[in-house]
Amino acid sequence: MDWLRSIGGELKLDRLVNFVGNSLWQSNCPLCKRPSEQVLCKDCDRQITAYQFPQFLQKDSPISTEIPLYSWVTYDGAVKRAIATCKYENHPEIMEVIAEKMAIRWRQEPIANLKNIPVVPIPLHPNKLKSRGFNQAEVLARRFCDLTSLPCHPKLLQRIKDTKPQMQTKTKGERQHNLSKAFAVSRIPRSSQKLDSDKVILLDDIYTTGTTIREAIAALASQNIKVKGVIVIARPQFENRSPNLNS
């Protein structure tokens, strides 16, 4: 046994065991595939955060002056890659990481008139939900609400029209036709969903032309439910903007 201890000491088997164990149990970052102790590696996390808008509230009021839009980051670069990886490569955990960052930003910019208002994520059509396995907006909303103490109502709004992705449409008219009457408010009695308010906040992953959000607003309005704000992960920045990669 002395010779075994001697060899073990020379080879430093304890370090080898630790190395092998860490290699086996350490997950890889879904964006760059490098080993990471967290969901995202530090480099990818930094790249995404670098696209953060200076202010959460979008002052150009793209929806209307009555319905504020809150966007966390610019839809570009690492942000695009993260959202696409989540949706098309089966990584819903990315949404939870982003929700945590958005919740921090939300708490940093307290919005008094939106406290305690239920959050409703933009739904997927059942066919797409079955194919993808999860709704990224719902994953985002549930985690965001857990951390901000806002009520979450993921089943209030339903997608009743199986639309094609908006990126596949070419004109404004085509986008509007694609999403026309795509949403409906659930037939489940409002009381059974504990929706004690006629006001809600919509939440989605991306805001581009606003067609999706406006159709959802119209569906809710038909049932006398007002949208008091919209929260998204990202929206395009049409001005030339280079991310602060040193932040």
Neighbours of 193 (CB within 10 A): 15
Considering the domain boundaries, does residue 246 fall inside one? no
- 37 and 69 co-located in one domain: no
How high is the pLDDT of residue 115?
83
Whether the CA torsion 149, 150, 154, 156 is positive or negative: it is: positive
pTM of the prediction?
0.81
- 157 and 42 co-located in one domain: no
Considering the domain boundaries, does residue 186 fall inside one? yes
User: What's the number of domains the chain is made of?
Assistant: 2
Instruction: Pinpoint the alpha helices (H) of the chain.
Output: 2-11, 13-25, 42-49, 77-88, 93-108, 126-132, 136-148, 172-179, 211-221
Considering the domain boundaries, does residue 98 fall inside one? yes
- 105 and 36 co-located in one domain: no
Name the DSSP class of 113: G
- 24 and 101 co-located in one domain: no
- 80 and 155 co-located in one domain: yes
How high is the pLDDT of residue 172?
59
Considering the domain boundaries, does residue 71 fall inside one? yes
**241 backbone φψ class: left, alpha, beta (φ>0; ψ -120 to 50):** beta
Contact indicator for 210, 62 with CB cutoff of 8 Å: yes
Could you read off the pLDDT tens digit of each residue along the chain, which spans 247 residues? 444 444 445 444 554 444 444 444 568 999 999 999 999 999 999 999 999 999 999 999 999 999 999 999 999 999 999 999 999 999 999 999 999 999 999 988 767 678 889 999 999 999 999 999 999 999 999 999 999 999 999 999 999 988 756 555 556 566 656 677 889 998 665 544 556 679 999 999 999 999 999 999 999 999 999 999 999 999 998 654 444 444 3
- 101 and 31 co-located in one domain: no
Considering the domain boundaries, does residue 65 fall inside one? yes
Q: How far apart are CA 178 and CA 161, in angstroms?
A: 9
Residue 219 maps to which CATH number? 3.40.50
Whether the CA torsion 191, 194, 199, 203 is positive or negative: it is: negative
Q: Which residues contact 196 (CB under 8 A, 6 or more apart)?
A: none
Neighbours of 214 (CB within 10 A): 17
- 203 and 98 co-located in one domain: yes
How high is the pLDDT of residue 5?
46
Considering the domain boundaries, does residue 136 fall inside one? yes
How high is the pLDDT of residue 23?
46
- 37 and 68 co-located in one domain: no
Tokens of 17: 């065991």
Q: How far apart are CA 96 and CA 20, in angstroms?
A: 29
Backbone angles phi, psi at 108, to 5 degrees: -75, -25
- 122 and 164 co-located in one domain: yes
How high is the pLDDT of residue 124?
96
How high is the pLDDT of residue 38?
94
- 38 and 95 co-located in one domain: no
Considering the domain boundaries, does residue 1 fall inside one? no
Name the DSSP class of 52: B
- 35 and 133 co-located in one domain: no
- 35 and 71 co-located in one domain: no
Tokens of 11: 């080879």
Residue numbers of the domain that contains 27: 14-50
